[in-house]
Amino acid sequence: MVLPTVRVCLCFAFALIVVHGPLQAQDSSSRLTPIEATSGPDDRVDPMRPARLTAAERERLFDQAAREAAPLERQAMQLRRLSDLLRPSVVHIDATKRLPRPRGGRTTESEAGSGVIAEVQGRIVVITNRHVIDGAELEAIAIRLDDGRELRPRRSWSDVGTDLAVLELVADNLEPARLARGDTLKIGDTVLAIGSPFGLSHSVTLGIVSAKGRRDLELGAGAVRFQDFIQTDAAINPGNSGGPLVNLRGEVVGVNTAIASNSGGSEGIGFAIPVTIVRFVAEQLVENGTVTRAYLGVALDREFTQPEAHRLGMVRPVGARVESVTAGGPAAKADIRFNDVILEFDGTAIDDDDHLMTVVGMTTVDQSVKVVIFRDRERMDIEVPVARRSDFE
């Protein structure tokens, strides 16, 4: 949950860092002058000398440090391998967008972000965030590769509900990254974030998975409805949006999207869309041009409290409590009722109402799934035929 005092920022960048040269001395009187050597008998004593290491002791410590550094260097070698492996697959994106009204005499603005090359449904594409390219024409989107080439996408697709976009590329010698399969990421796992913070392309930062299942972030205009973010302390800054979050096997486990920050820069709280959602959305966008989501047909309790859970015979509030059921919807057909608590959906244990909405939204349609509910102080298994959300909304 994001504290009220912390802003959650989407991570595209508007400008590059300017690196200044060395500062010039302002006052010649402040210059340092060398101390002149004094003459006299050479009988002065260094009072700290007995506490210092001898030359032999220093050599022994150097040898010990080298031996003990070997396992750490083997770990560092893996990070270097991953950087070399992923560098050709990570791209820098510049998108020029037309302003709704002139601003300071300008009619357009440029935004920068990142992306990762992947193979989806037999096509080579770049996966990135929708907010990086939203509002830009295809010819105004520049994709810069590691080898210096600059490409334009042949077509693009995007999904408002997850803030993901897919850009199709047609070029030779493209190196797709490997997308992880399934949700194997655990809290505490080591991850790398790769992208273009502040326009500094192919920057690599290291961190861990700090948390999973962040679902109540206020992003942009609130259009990102389906959330299940990975939280990481790997440094993510403006310009990292759309870049990959990578595990130690070199597999993409997420797409970096946002940060919680009071300053606008990295404060150790970054968020990435998990690869399970990335795969679900990207495959449908490439195959169908849009995302078809499942629909359950229930209204849920947004504030399922401890007293309410006790009243229903539960030890604690867990799952999603049903407040009403849409007539004629899948839930009604499966006899889901008011005050039922949905504990599992298609094999996934449900934490709360936001979690259920995301899980249902990432479920394939035209199938029946097993749903576990709590009713009359007992668990019950029922089969629910999920429908298409577009048929009801």
211 and 234 in contact (C-beta within 8 Å)? no
CA distance 303 to 270: 26
Closest to 324 measured CA to CA, from 309, 314, 311, 339: 339
Looking at residue 175, the DSSP 8-state letter turns out to be: -
CA distance 99 to 107: 5
In the residue annotation, 131 being an active-site residue is answered as yes
Written as one string, the DSSP assignment of 50-86 is GGSPPHHHHHHHHHHHHHHHHHHHHHHHHHHHHHHHH
In the residue annotation, 310 being an active-site residue is answered as no
Residue pointed to by tokens 């039922």 = 340
Annotated catalytic residue within 131, 266, 340, 352:
131
Tell me the C-alpha to C-alpha distance, in Å, between residue 232 and each of 110, 236, 340, 354: 28, 9, 35, 20
Annotated catalytic residue within 159, 163, 352, 353:
163
Annotated catalytic residue within 241, 266, 346, 354:
241
Burial of 95 (0-12, 13-18, 19+ CB in 10 A): buried
271 and 217 in contact (C-beta within 8 Å)? yes
194 and 204 in contact (C-beta within 8 Å)? yes
Q: Are β-strands 270-274 and 251-261 bridged in parallel, bridged antiparallel, or unpaired?
A: antiparallel
Catalytically active residues, by annotation: 131, 163, 241
